[in-house]
Structure 1
Amino acid sequence: MSFLQVTWTDPATGARGYLVIDRLVRGVSSGGLRMRTGCTLDEVRGLAEGMTAKEALNYDPGARYVPLGGAKGGIDFDPRDPRAEDVLTAYLFAMSPYVERFWTMGEDLGLRQSTIDRAIAKIGLRSSIQAVYPLLDDEDEARRRLSDAFGVVVDGVGLDELVGGYGVAQAALAGIERLGLTSPTAVVQGFGSMGGATARYLARAGVAVVGLADVHGAIANPDGLDVETLLLSRDPHGGVDRTKIRRTDLLLDRDEWLDIEADVLVPAATSYAIDVGNAHRVRARLVVEAANMPITVEAEELIDALVIPDVVANSATNSWWWWTLFGDIEPTAEAAFAKIGTTMRRLVAKIIGEPSPRAAAARIAAEAVREIEQRFQPAALTGDRPTGCRS
Structure 2
Amino acid sequence: MSAAPLLSVTWSDHVTGRRGYLVVDRLVRGVASGGLRMREGCTLDEVAGLARGMSMKEALHYDPSGRYVPLGGAKGGIDCDPRSPEAYGVLVRYLRAMRPHIERCWTTGEDLGLTQDLVDRAATEAGLVSSIQAVYPLLDDEAQARRRLAAAFEVDVEGIGLDELVGGCGVAESVLVALHRAGRPHAGTRVSVQGFGTMGGATARFLSRAGLMVVAVADVKGTIANPDGLDVEALLAARDPYGAVDRSVLRPGGAERQGDTELPCDAWLAVDAEVLVPAAVSYAIDDEAVERIRARWIVEAANMPVLPAAEELLAARGVTVLPDVVVNSATNAWWWWTLFGDIGADADGAFAHIRAAMRALVGRMLDRAEADGTTPRAAAHALVEERLPEIAERYGWY
- Shared topology, TM-score over 0.5? yes
Query: Aligned residue for 1:384?
Result: none
Opposite residue 337 of structure 2, the aligned amino acid is W
Query: Aligned residue for 1:203?
Result: 208
Unaligned runs of 5+ in 1: 382-391
1:371 aligns with 2:390: yes
1:274 aligned to 279, 282, 285, which one?
Answer: 285
Instruction: Find the residue that maps to 1:219 and give its secondary structure.
Output: strand
Are the aligned partners of 1:220 and 1:252 in contact in 2 as well (CA < 8 Å)? yes
Q: Per chain length, whose mean CA-contact separation is higher, i.e. which structure has more relative contact order (CA < 8 Å, sep 6+)?
A: 1
| Residue 155 of structure 1: how far off its partner (Å) | 0.7
Are the aligned partners of 2:12 and 2:19 in contact in 1 as well (CA < 8 Å)? yes
| Residue 158 of structure 1: how far off its partner (Å) | 0.2
Instruction: Find the residue that maps to 2:251 and give its secondary structure.
Output: coil
| Residue 200 of structure 1: how far off its partner (Å) | 0.1
1:219 aligns with 2:233: no
Instruction: Find the residue that maps to 1:298 and give its secondary structure.
Output: helix
| Residue 369 of structure 1: how far off its partner (Å) | 1.4
1:71-124 superposed Cα distances (whole Å, 9 cap, x missing partner)? 000011101101101011111111000000100000000011111111101011
1:170 aligned to 160, 170, 173, which one?
Answer: 173
Query: Aligned residue for 1:68?
Result: 71
1:287 aligns with 2:287: no
1:149-181 superposed Cα distances (whole Å, 9 cap, x missing partner)? 000000110000000001000000111112222
Alignment of 1:186-335 (within 5 A): 186-247=191-252, 248-303=259-314, 304=317, 305-335=319-349
* Distance (whole Å) between structure 2 residues aligned to residue 176 and residue 220 of structure 1: 22
| Residue 26 of structure 1: how far off its partner (Å) | 0.2
Instruction: Find the residue that maps to 2:386 and give its secondary structure.
Output: helix
Instruction: Find the residue that maps to 1:251 and give its secondary structure.
Output: strand
| Residue 206 of structure 1: how far off its partner (Å) | 0.2
1:312-362 superposed Cα distances (whole Å, 9 cap, x missing partner)? 000000000000000000110011101100010001111124131101111
Are the aligned partners of 1:5 and 1:21 in contact in 2 as well (CA < 8 Å)? yes
Shifted more, 353-362 versus 149-158: the winner is 353-362
| Residue 260 of structure 1: how far off its partner (Å) | 1.2
1:2 aligns with 2:5: yes
* Distance (whole Å) between structure 1 residues aligned to residue 232 and residue 34 of structure 2: 29
TM-score (norm 2): 0.94
Are the aligned partners of 2:271 and 2:294 in contact in 1 as well (CA < 8 Å)? no
* Distance (whole Å) between structure 1 residues aligned to residue 239 and residue 104 of structure 2: 35
Are the aligned partners of 1:271 and 1:294 in contact in 2 as well (CA < 8 Å)? yes
Alignment of 1:14-25 (within 5 A): 14-25=17-28
Query: Aligned residue for 2:115?
Result: 112
Instruction: Find the residue that maps to 1:301 and give its secondary structure.
Output: helix
Q: Give 4+ residue runs of structure 1 displaced > 4 Å after superposition.
A: none
2:106 aligned to 88, 103, 107, which one?
Answer: 103
Instruction: Find the residue that maps to 1:302 and give its secondary structure.
Output: helix
Query: Aligned residue for 2:152?
Result: 149
Opposite residue 272 of structure 1, the aligned amino acid is Y
- Percent of aligned positions that are identical: 62
Query: Aligned residue for 2:138?
Result: 135
1:32 aligned to 31, 35, 54, which one?
Answer: 35
Are the aligned partners of 1:176 and 1:286 in contact in 2 as well (CA < 8 Å)? no
Please tell me the root mean square deviation across aligned C-alpha atoms, in Å. 0.8
Shifted more, 182-191 versus 319-328: the winner is 182-191
* Distance (whole Å) between structure 1 residues aligned to residue 90 and residue 327 of structure 2: 31
Unaligned runs of 5+ in 2: 253-258
Are the aligned partners of 2:167 and 2:328 in contact in 1 as well (CA < 8 Å)? yes
1:247-274 superposed Cα distances (whole Å, 9 cap, x missing partner)? 1101111121112110000000000000
1:30-66 superposed Cα distances (whole Å, 9 cap, x missing partner)? 0000011111100000000000000110000011111
Aligned length: 379
Opposite residue 6 of structure 1, the aligned amino acid is V
1:336 aligns with 2:355: no
